[in-house]
Amino acid sequence: MSNNLRPTAKIDEHGEILSVNQDYLTILGYQKESDMVGHKIAEFRSASFPPAIQEDIVRIISSNHPYTGFTIEKTASGQEIYLAMTLIPLGQSIYKGYTAIKRALSPIEISQIKARMDSLAKGHSVINNGVIKTSFT
């Protein structure tokens, strides 16, 4: 997977995808914009992405603050792909959704994230975007 791809998308306040660029389609293996636009972004998230981290993301971004971290998404063929992401709120004082800018993670970055997730699964504390977590829930 090319690290030169920069998948971007606009998501509304209800989690519906408003637009995606060609890089997003390419990285997830979709052919046309309509394969993603109009769908909920959650449909493309891997079931192995920790709910506790997703809750943090929702809390942060819906408070109109940017978020930088990672996500695990599903490709069109069902494979998992680890992506770095920055989410930038669209609204000023009222949350209106966000712009997502992503990139594929390197094998080293993925192994570091997996080590952090393993530690969390074992009940150890980890820090995610400034929040100390001790479990997936």
Mean pLDDT of 100-123: 87
CA distances from 61 to 21, 46, 57, 74, 108 (A): 21, 19, 6, 22, 27
pTM of the model: 0.85
Distance CA 27, CA 75 (A): 8
State pLDDT tens for residues 35-59: 999 999 999 999 999 888 898 899 9
Helix (H, G, I), strand (E, B) or coil at 61: helix
Could you give all domains of the chain from N- to C-terminal order, each with its CATH number? 8-105 (3.30.450.20)
Alpha helices (H) in the chain, listed in sequence order: 22-28, 51-62, 107-121
Tens-place pLDDT, residues 118-137: 877 777 655 555 555 555 54
Q: What distance in Å separates the CA atoms of residue 57 and residue 129, rounded to the nearest whole number?
A: 9
Q: What is the predicted pLDDT for the residue at 1?
A: 53
